[in-house]
Amino acid sequence: MHVLSAHAPRRLSDGWQCVSTPAGASATPASLDTLDTFTKWIDAPVPGTIASALRATGVDDEALARPFAHSDHWYRVKLSGDGKRRLRFNGLATIAEVWLDDRKLLESDSMFVVHDLDVDLNGEHTLYLCFRSIAPALASKRGRARWRPKLAQPATLRNVRTTLLGHMSGWCPAIQPAGPWRAIEIIGESRACIADVDLRTSVDGSDGVLDVTVRYFHAQEPTPVPIECGDARATMQWHDARTLKGRVRVPNVRLWYPHTHGEPSRYAVKLGDVELAEVGFRVIEIDRGADGQGFQLVVNGVPVFARGACWTSADIVALDAPREKLDHIFGLVRDAGLNIVRVSGITLYESDTFYELADKHGVLVWQDFAFANFDYPDNEAFRASVQREAEQFLSRTRRFASLAVLCGGSEVHQQAAMLGLPFDAYQQRLFTELLPNAIAAQRPDVTYVVNSPSAAPGDKESMPFGTRGGITHYYGVPAYQRSFDDVRRAQVRFASECLAFANVPDDAALRAIPNPRAHEPRWKTGVPRDPGSAWDFDDVREHYMQSLYRVDVPRLRYENPERYLELSRAVVADVIGAVFSEWRREGSSCAGGIVWNLLDVRPGAGWGVIDVLGAPKSALHGLARVLQPVQVLILDEGLDGLDVHLVNETAREIRARVELTCLREGAVKVAGGSRDVVLRPRSVQRVSSNALIGAFFDIAYAYRFGPRAHDATHVVLRDAHTNEVLSEAFHFPDPSIGERRDIGLSADIEKDDEGFHLVVETAQLARWVHVVDPNYFARTDWFHLAPGSTRRIPLVARHAHVSAAPEGEVSAVNAIRSATYRAT
């Protein structure tokens, strides 16, 4: 809730202290006094965790990988006031007690449940929070599980409502969450304090309908109160002395779209002079195709190719990232052409700020409930806790237009099926009854998926991870090291996870690792692996380096480590671009792919396409190269040459010209052609290279009647009226880098009111151009540059306090000489 300060609850964020003790050392706050001789209270950020409190004292992140959840941790703060108040605890991780002075007011066993406590204050008080060890809960025997996954240990974590972050060896740092990870608020300090706001949006014909319920903590004078949504107005009605209800109809409403398909329009909502929030209006549907096996998101009647990445945490230590950091991340997501983020079941429910920013940037959210892999209990107490958790989350996020898919959890069906259980044996009422019923009651405007992955509804014969129907986690490329032909053969309908790599960050991020040489122990701590596997995701990346670039990877790694890192970054962008080009082509069965993962959670070559410092990696730039709303793509069809696919996801018709050029030795044109095209709104169309050239040319080097006549094919899509380049794509019949040469690369710095820009030029074709600057990263990076062309690139400061001017170099993987630059 974002109301004006006079009406909003006050956050209890200042003056907190915390202390850690052995499990069970203090039963009550009074007994803490006996421990003061050998314990020390430290200042504690709230919201936060015991780990974030230690980080604030100077403890580095690596030293925070401790089993915090197996000790006790006490928090305290002074509280003063007179009269009735409400204390709201938005998240306590995980087995928690709340004490006011010497009175215990609450016991909680879920980090995902919000608690409201009404109290009478009388002067000065001390509020205590105790976070107990989860060890007794893990030791308790509450039924026998039908399967025991390797993902998180111990297996009895299934009984405890806590995140799996910190409990997954090989996936993330072992920083176990303990503490008040969400805000603590005090309600009722002013007579006009609003306790709750409920905003529900719907679409009725061409109108938007907003239903509003506002609850005050204190009784109010029943005077008329106006409600506004944009320019539309109505009058709220008093339901009782504390509750207002009303409805606003917005005629000819501007609908909210993901940014790739339209404007994410929002309307400001005001209650009198109180700003409540901003809301969007949209309709979400699912198209399962003629055979009932597909899964395509349809927003406001427009089919959407959904592409994005899975969310972990923007702050693995505190679990609560500041707005500025989240806004920066969503900006990178939008710039890359991504339009969906999946919050996986291994993580947690994100903050209101997260969903607000998704609304603002036009990014859809696929939200798993916080369940993964386990066979969960089916007793009354567990069901009641989950019911409360689900209803609170759905109510809290009801106003957000970006929330598009709700999913029972991650890899529960897959885990059971891979361990040999039949379909009926791994069905759980939690996913088939409890969660869908809660959604039907609280958020009927959002679609529900039973699990990720899962077979299409009604299909009991296919594996839940099968690729030809339902929702899959596709790892044929790269994790299982299949050839690119597998991408088409798999006939993926929707991949809610895909394309996991150990993505190498840039040099600035690698400096966060002492002596970051590949394959050394410190390097390997940042490389993810699946529990129990004999390989990690470095091995996966190196497989494609060897098969595409035809290099001796082990020898390159120890003889020329800088070149190894450069090609490591390039190959990921190559593979990701090839897979998404296949999925976006005309005639593809695929309606979306969500990469694993968006963010790194520690320094190193993690799964994230954004590094731990917030800079995009080559993988994100590789995605940006093929995922724009107006896009040209190239597919190698062997003996049929190259197919050029022209994508227009916008609502407008585009008159354009498509130009194809085949190049030898990086600059010499040996074949080519062009034609005018009309790109219909919301369309994909195909043009063959044979039609563009008008004669036979072995453009894919499939016939091999003699030496290859060219090294690269360059396709440009231009606006027919302005000649502006709308998109471009490249194809290399031999993807290996080959011999490097002087390609005439140059770089200059320009500065204007928007900041620094880098101007890059090349005389010959430059492959995988990239910028190396210790204080800035390039907004556009890891791209190919055609001979004789220029690219003007904004530079982004790596952090807010950068005072140095840009100074670095521009390189290409096929160039023997870099171009240096320095701002004067």
How confident is the model over 737-753, as pLDDT tens digits? 888 999 999 999 999 99
Q: If pLDDT is split at 50, 70 and 90, which confidence band does 804 have? A: very high
Token reading at 25:
């050392």
Structure confidence by residue, pLDDT tens digits, 109-137: 999 999 999 999 999 999 999 999 999 99
The structure's pTM equals 0.97
Host H or E run for residue 766: strand 766-772
Q: Which pLDDT value is given to residue 371?
A: 98
DSSP tag of 159: G
DSSP tag of 156: G
Q: If pLDDT is split at 50, 70 and 90, which confidence band does 170 have? A: confident
Percent of the chain at pLDDT > 90 equals 91
Name the least confident of 139-153, 244-258, 357-371, 803-817.
139-153
Q: Residue 45: helix, strand or coil by DSSP? A: coil
Closest by Cα among 314, 492, 286, 263 to 404? 286
Identify the CATH number of the domain defined by range 284-624. Answer: 3.20.20.80
Q: Which pLDDT value is given to residue 1?
A: 47
Domain-wise residue ranges, the chain: 10-141+176-187, 194-279, 284-624, 630-731, 746-822
Question: 792-816 burial, b for 16+ CB within 10 Å, e for fewer?
Answer: ebebbbbeeeeeeebebbbbbbbbe
Closest by Cα among 92, 11, 17 to 57? 17
How far is the CA of 497 from the CAs of 11, 411, 467, 785, in angstroms? Answer: 37, 10, 12, 31
- Assess whether pLDDT exceeds 90 at residue 6: no
Name the least confident of 428-437, 512-521, 552-561, 567-576.
512-521
Average pLDDT, the chain: 95
CA distance 486 to 66: 42
Superfamily of domain 10-141+176-187: Galactose-binding domain-like (2.60.120.260)
CA distance 464 to 455: 5
CA distance 138 to 157: 6
Token reading at 380:
């009354």
Q: Which pLDDT value is given to residue 140?
A: 80
How far is the CA of 806 from the CAs of 277, 761, 793, 794, 800, in angstroms? Answer: 39, 18, 13, 11, 14
Average pLDDT over residues 368-387: 96
Superfamily of domain 194-279: Immunoglobulins (2.60.40.10)
Per DSSP, what are the bridge partners of residue 310?
A: 342
**Where do the H-state alpha helices sit in 269-411?**
323-335, 352-361, 380-396
Identify the CATH number of the domain defined by range 746-822. Answer: 2.60.40.10
- Assess whether pLDDT exceeds 90 at residue 768: yes
Spell out the residues 6+ positions from residue 102 whose beta carbon is closer than 8 angstroms to its own: 28, 29, 30
Q: Which pLDDT value is given to residue 38?
A: 56
- Assess whether pLDDT exceeds 70 at residue 4: no
- Burial class for 746, CB neighbours closer than 10 Å (0-12, 13-18, 19+): middle
Q: Residue 777: helix, strand or coil by DSSP? A: strand
Average pLDDT over residues 39-61: 94
Structure confidence by residue, pLDDT tens digits, 482-541: 999 999 999 999 999 999 999 999 998 898 887 778 888 889 988 998 887 889 999 999
583-586: long-range contacts (C-beta < 8 A, 24 or more apart)? Answer: 583/305, 583/487, 583/492, 583/495, 584/305, 584/626, 584/627, 584/631, 584/633, 584/645, 584/647, 584/684, 585/633, 585/635, 585/643, 585/645, 585/684, 585/686, 586/645, 586/684, 586/685, 586/686
CA distance 700 to 680: 28
- Assess whether pLDDT exceeds 70 at residue 37: no
Per DSSP, what are the bridge partners of residue 750?
A: 757
Same CATH topology for 630-731 and 746-822: the answer is: yes
Percent of the chain at pLDDT > 70 equals 99
Superfamily of domain 630-731: Immunoglobulins (2.60.40.10)
Host H or E run for residue 699: none
Average pLDDT over residues 291-308: 98
Spell out the residues 6+ positions from residue 735 whose beta carbon is closer than 8 angstroms to its own: 548, 549, 574
CA distance 632 to 627: 9
Q: If pLDDT is split at 50, 70 and 90, which confidence band does 3 have? A: low
Spell out the residues 6+ positions from residue 511 whose beta carbon is closer than 8 angstroms to its own: none
Closest by Cα among 208, 495, 468, 256 to 366? 495
Host H or E run for residue 136: helix 135-139
- Report the amino acid identity of residue 272: G
CA distance 91 to 96: 10
Which stretches does DSSP call E strand in 725-765?
Answer: 725-731, 746-752, 755-761
Q: Residue 395: helix, strand or coil by DSSP? A: helix
Closest by Cα among 453, 428, 448 to 438? 448
Average pLDDT over residues 445-460: 96
Q: Are 157 and 49 in contact (CB under 8 A)?
A: no
Which pairing describes strands 654-664 and 668-679: parallel, antiparallel, or unpaired? Answer: antiparallel
Q: Which pLDDT value is given to residue 36?
A: 61
